[in-house]
Amino acid sequence: MFTTIHIPTAAAQASTSVLMIYTGGTLGMVYDRTGRHLVPFDFSQMNERLPELNRFDFQLTVVALDQPIDSSNVTPDHWLQWAHLIRGNYDRYDGFVILHGTDTMAYSASAMSFLLENLHKPVVFTGSQLPLGTVRTDARENLMTALEIASAKDAAGRPLVPEVSIYFHGLLLRGNRAKKVESVHFDAFQSENYPLLAEAGVTIDYNRSLILPYGDELPLRVAPVMDGRVAILKLFPGITRLVADSTVQMPGLRGLILETYGSGNAPTAGWFIETLRKAVNKGLFVFNVSQCVGGFVVQGRYETSRHLSEIGVLSGADITTEAAVTKMMYVLGKHLSDDETRRQLTTPLRGEMS
Ligand code: ASP
């Protein structure tokens, strides 16, 4: 499933070591013979493509998925597989870099932040807008800086960023706060509701007070399952009863992300409220997440959200949809009591909401 490649760096005997996991995406692509289609390149040639890797002052190992995937094909099974790969190598490495397609990187980084319980080492996601093999590629800088961040330690020898993050185009963002906001320009990621963890220019400037604390050295655990029985219902003016009913009444559905307007507002039409009330009464967990990229859900600020609290819809505060979906999969996978499920959904678990 994976191939392991040891990169001979200048520091074969260095005490710091980083494991880089290549899962797929644009970064590792080259053009095929026709020059028209991008296909994954052979990662055993990594060294030839990036000879600078040899100059790092830490040890570097690359693990490449035998069948790299476009990140549109990522599933919760991949997240579990990568989480187990990290757990299996946790004691051997000081930090981890995951090379991933940009399209669903914010979902994967969010999912990994929940799955990896008691994490106290860096897991830095990165990718690129242009393939490594192209002249103007952004892959080189993203990859090199992500590696630096994954290996960075404080004066006491502890990792500087002991959490799941995304490094992209000069910015280090909390993984479960990030969103892909650009499909063309290089500055593809933003975290509107949480400040930067670091900014990379001539130096990498860390905002130490905003990074999750190192915490107790409890053993790393990987949550055993993600419950995929979740759906997203995005509101739009004119949404019909058929659309709402058929989503909410889907057989087996356990969690629903309700993407609302502004500060968490939704239609006040009787049929809409009844549809949600019935679903919540039958045990569906409904999580209110705003369609806005910045700001908060405040149920009750407007008349158009007061009824949501009354029928038991849970406020997602300033969580992103990406973090909300993966958090639901994680929390529902724990099979907790209804009260505890509601408590965990509305409480920050990994800094994903305020
Ligand atoms: N489609 C690609 C992916 O997400 C895009 C990218 O890597 O930027 O895998």
Domain segments of the chain as ranges: 2-222, 230-345
Cα angle 127-132-134, degrees, rounded to a multiple of 5: 130
CATH 3.40.50.40 holds for 230-345: yes
Which residue, 60, 48, 62, is CA-closest to 12?
60
The CA 182 to ligand 1 mean position distance, Å, reads 12
In this prediction, residue 12 carries a pLDDT of 65
The CA 84 to ligand 1 mean position distance, Å, reads 23
- Mean pLDDT per 10-residue segment, the chain (354 residues): 77 84 90 80 78 88 90 97 97 97 98 98 97 90 97 96 98 98 97 98 98 91 97 98 97 98 96 97 97 91 87 97 98 98 98 98
Mutation to probe ligand 1, out of 22, 23, 29, 72 (largest number of atoms < 8 A from CB):
72
Please state which CATH number belongs to domain 2-222: 3.40.50.1170
Asked if residue 188 lies in contact with residue 169, where contact means CB atoms within 8 angstroms, the answer is: yes
User: Which residues surround ligand 1 with Cβ inside 6 Å?
Assistant: 24-26, 70-72, 101-103, 127, 129
The CA 129 to ligand 1 mean position distance, Å, reads 8
Asked if residue 327 lies in contact with residue 295, where contact means CB atoms within 8 angstroms, the answer is: no
List 140's β-bridge partners, or say none. none
List 135's β-bridge partners, or say none. none
| The domains spanning 2-222 and 230-345 adopt the same CATH topology | yes
Do you know the residue count of the chain? Answer: 354
In this prediction, residue 135 carries a pLDDT of 86
Mutation to probe ligand 1, out of 22, 23, 26 (largest number of atoms < 8 A from CB):
26
Active site residues: 26
Asked if residue 296 lies in contact with residue 317, where contact means CB atoms within 8 angstroms, the answer is: yes
Strands (E), the chain: 2-7, 17-22, 29-31, 38-40, 59-65, 95-99, 116-117, 123-126, 164-168, 171-174, 179-180, 189-190, 198-200, 204-206, 221-222, 230-234, 255-260, 285-290, 314-315
In this prediction, residue 3 carries a pLDDT of 82
Structure pTM? Answer: 0.96
H helix or E strand, kind and range, residue 219: none
In this prediction, residue 302 carries a pLDDT of 84
Which atom of ligand 1 is nearest to 128's Cα?
Answer: 8
